[in-house]
Amino acid sequence: MSGINRRSFFTAAAAAGFAVAGAPAARAATGIAAQVRRVPLTSEDRRVVVVGSGFGGGVAALRLAEAGVPVLVLERGIRWPTGPNARTFPNPTAPDKRALWYRSSPQLFGKPVALEPFAGLVEAVVGENMTALCAAGVGGGSLVYQGMSLQPSEAVFNTFFPNELDWQTMNRVHYPRVAKMLQLATAPDALVSSPSYRAPRVFAEHVTRAGLPLSKIPMPIDWNFALAELRGDMTPSYTDGSGALGVNNGGKHSVDVTYIAAAEATGKVTVETLHEVTGIERTGGGRWRVHVNRIDTAGTVLENKVLTTDALVMAAGSLNTTKLLVRSAATGQIPDMPDALGGGWGTNADRIYVWTNPVEEFGATQGGPVVYGSLNWDDPRSAHTVIQASIPSMSVDARSTMMVGFGVSEGRGRFAYDAGADEAKLHWPKDGDAVIQNGSIGPTAHKIAGPASFLTDTNVLFPSTWHALGGASMGAVCDLDGRVHGQRGLYVLDGALMPGTAGACNPSMTIAAIAERAVDNLVARDVGTVI
């Protein structure tokens, strides 16, 4: 039920005299009507509406604005401004309300979390056999991702993505454009050789000893900030490994300070924060109607908005884009959606390991966010990457650190509409990533760790992913430029467009590069006709 229809339903229920919590019918009707009156309803007409401000939304907003198109970006979360010695983000060792989105499941990493409702950073979406985590805030997932910015090799890319995307052009034009925007750089040796970065050095030694490839990982980081921390010029944020829920000191080139900032600087883009989309529908005239709750930071609805637009770009991330589209299709708000909608959903074969070695010194302080990884891509069908990720500082050396893996897997889930809950819910096969656990990432992680170590596979204890992909995938639901088949003016430009995998890489680079390519084509072909 859309926001406006839900309002009409409750107004009608009150008028009909339905009782609430045992109160007399007339009194209940008066109370509900008064509550409805307190939430104003406004309507707006916009040329382009972009839902979400992460990698896909940021690219779309900037490139359309550069083409002269006015864009409204809707972001359900808040802005998270950083700078030297800021305390914007919570410390992962003592998370507070800032960590969790107010509607998130309280079961975070399998444990109940009791926090005051807040428009926090992470929402845990619990499905069948899988919990998927997604970000909220201007910049989307770039706020909380570690920053591993990897581009698949040509062989891996062509194995899992349509050849029509043209890897050669992507490699020459679109990936480099993203790299330039994010100002990618690897950690300087002066930083890596410092005492705080013993854990990355130990990882590198183990990778080399195992005969596996070793690479420094490109990161969207100004490493001068980390060097300044070593000199004592700033409170630690990189060098103590505390940036898992956002880097306080700045210097991280997340989407909010790159793509979104550049988009706003054109004067063509407006970003509305704390605007949560509740429903979308196609009007009788073929335009798009977006129902939005303007909320406060506790999730209280302050205003209902109805936005009408010729062009709607869904960039709310794989989870929320897919959930909104599946629900709209199932309830008839968007008729004739492709049958494959909701399917083809993958985890990017995420694995997160705790690596413990009782005789190895990793350091009580482990600098981050990421320095080294092992890219095992010779066989595209079993390609996988294992990266060392530091843990927050402790008072003693816990003889442990983290390893993170990305791979390729044929395991796929789907979102299906649950009429009783009035929402799309995730269904994932129980052994969907077993081949990754047992056949590629798992064995490589154990080989790196060595015989004196033991690994705790957190995905076995608590199946989860930070890199949800698919649900409105290219080919089955959309064309390669994100146009939803049969739905003029409706686009998907985020992780939902991906084919369930990013080719053994963190997805950010490929999501952004595919969006860059797509918007090039939309500017050339759709601006002035559809947009």
3-state secondary structure 314-354: ECCHHHHHHHHHHHHHHCCCCCCCCCCCCCCEECCCCEEEE
Non-local (6+) Cβ contacts of 15 within 8 A are 29, 33
Three-state secondary structure readout of 344-389 = CEECCCCEEEEEECCCCCCCCCCCCCCCEEEEECCCHHHCEEEEEE
Which phi and psi angles does 105 have, rounded to 5°? -60, 140
Q: Beta-carbon neighbour count of residue 457 at 10 Å?
A: 18
Q: Would you say 25 and 508 are in contact if contact means Cβ atoms under 8 Å apart?
A: no
- Residue 31: inside a domain, yes or no? no
Strand 41-51 to strand 71-74: parallel, antiparallel, or no bridges (unpaired)? parallel
The domain containing residue 336 runs over which residues?
41-526
Q: Would you say 503 and 161 are in contact if contact means Cβ atoms under 8 Å apart?
A: yes
- Residue 12: inside a domain, yes or no? no
What residue has token string 């129902």?
Answer: 291
CATH of the domain at 101: 3.50.50.60
- Residue 389: inside a domain, yes or no? yes
Helix 441-449 to helix 198-209 angle (10° resolution) is: 110
Non-local (6+) Cβ contacts of 131 within 8 A are 105, 107, 124, 125, 462, 463, 464, 465
- Residue 3: inside a domain, yes or no? no
Three-state secondary structure readout of 170-223 = HHHHHHHHHHHHHCCECCCHHHHCCHHHHHHHHHHHHHHHCCCCCEECCECECC
* 490: exposed, middle or buried (Cβ count in 10 Å: 0-12, 13-18, 19+): buried
Element (H, E) at 126: strand 122-127
Strand 414-418 to strand 423-427: parallel, antiparallel, or no bridges (unpaired)? antiparallel
Alpha-carbon torsion 221, 223, 224, 230, what sign?
Answer: positive
Strand 351-356 to strand 372-376: parallel, antiparallel, or no bridges (unpaired)? unpaired
Distance, CA of 115 to CA of 94 (rounded, Å) = 12
Q: Tokens for 180, please give them.
A: 């330039």
Element (H, E) at 254: none
Distance, CA of 188 to CA of 506 (rounded, Å) = 21
pLDDT at 12: 24
- In DSSP terms, 119 is beta-bridged to 101
Element (H, E) at 403: strand 400-407
Distance, CA of 519 to CA of 66 (rounded, Å) = 11
- Residue 24: inside a domain, yes or no? no
* 215: exposed, middle or buried (Cβ count in 10 Å: 0-12, 13-18, 19+): middle
pLDDT at 113: 64
Give the CA count within 13 Å in the CB-facing half-sphere of 348.
Answer: 29
Q: Tokens for 198, please give them.
A: 């013993």
Q: Is 152 helix (H, G, I), strand (E, B) or coil?
A: coil
Per-residue pLDDT of the chain (531 residues; tens, 9 = 90+): 333 233 222 222 222 222 222 223 333 333 444 445 489 999 999 999 999 999 999 999 999 999 999 999 999 999 999 999 999 999 988 889 999 999 987 665 556 666 899 999 999 999 999 999 999 999 999 999 999 999 999 999 999 999 999 999 999 999 999 999 999 999 999 999 999 999 999 999 999 999 999 999 999 999 999 999 999 999 999 999 999 999 999 999 999 999 999 999 999 999 999 999 999 999 999 999 999 999 999 999 999 999 999 999 999 999 999 999 999 999 999 999 999 999 999 999 999 999 999 999 999 999 999 999 999 999 999 999 999 999 988 889 999 999 999 999 999 999 999 999 999 999 999 999 888 888 899 999 999 999 999 999 999 999 999 999 999 999 999 999 999 999 999 999 999 999 999 999 999 999 999 999 999 999 999 999 999
Non-local (6+) Cβ contacts of 46 within 8 A are 70, 72, 307, 308, 309
Q: Tokens for 136, please give them.
A: 């909220």
Q: Name the nearest CA neighbour of 427 among 59, 31, 127, 213.
A: 127
pLDDT at 104: 87
- Residue 180: inside a domain, yes or no? yes
Q: Would you say 424 and 416 are in contact if contact means Cβ atoms under 8 Å apart?
A: yes
In whole angstroms, how far apart are CA 118 and each of 9, 17, 51, 92, 152? 28, 34, 20, 17, 37
pLDDT at 5: 33
Alpha-carbon torsion 67, 72, 77, 78, what sign?
Answer: positive
Distance, CA of 240 to CA of 234 (rounded, Å) = 12
- Residue 4: inside a domain, yes or no? no
Q: Name the nearest CA neighbour of 322 among 486, 495, 160, 438.
A: 495
Counting the structural domains of the chain, the total is 1
- Residue 36: inside a domain, yes or no? no
Q: Number of helices and strands (H, E) in the chain? A: 15, 20
pLDDT at 115: 81
| Cα-to-chain-centroid distance, residue 471 | 14
What burial letters (b/e) apply to 336-359, b meaning 16+ CB within 10 Å?
A: ebbebbbbbbbbbbbbbbbbbbee
What residue has token string 């201007």?
Answer: 138
What residue has token string 């006709």?
Answer: 529
What residue has token string 């401004």?
Answer: 81
